[in-house]
Amino acid sequence: MVRGENADRILDKVVGLFGSKYYTGKGEGFKLTNHQRFVEAFKYMGGEELTRAEIETIILKKFPGMNPGSILPSDHTEIRVKGACWCAGTEKRVFGRIARGRYRVRTNL
């Protein structure tokens, strides 16, 4: 696969899903926790394999007001580390870790 092709395909899907109704820092989405934002951004992408960069691009498309430094997919996987999200290591985790920097979105978020 040509590098970038997957990101383009996923972005097309994201734009199709979210349309122009993006989070701008106020109103809808403002009070969501980071975990809830991950769920909102990826709930229709179960089974997709994504890189950390793709995850960041997608969630910022949905919630442009997010601080990129707070987008840490590794905090929402089966690996429970200190400071990780409450979902880490539980059945409610957002991602499965495939390799360093590669994740699969869990189904039924």
Minimum CB distance to Zn ion smaller for 24 or for 36? 36
Answer yes or no whether residue 97 interacts with Zn ion by CB under 5 A.
Answer: no
Q: Return the ∠ at Cα 12 (arms to 94 and 88), rounded to 5°.
A: 5
Answer yes or no whether residue 85 interacts with Zn ion by CB under 5 A.
Answer: yes
Per the CB < 8 A criterion, the answer to whether 107 and 94 are in contact is no
Answer yes or no whether residue 66 interacts with Zn ion by CB under 5 A.
Answer: no
Query: What is the spatial distance between Cα 91 and Cα 50, in angstroms, rounded to a whole number?
Result: 19
Minimum CB distance to Zn ion smaller for 15 or for 81? 81
Answer yes or no whether residue 10 interacts with Zn ion by CB under 5 A.
Answer: no
Q: What is the contact surface with Zn ion in residues (CB under 5 A)?
A: 35, 76, 85, 87
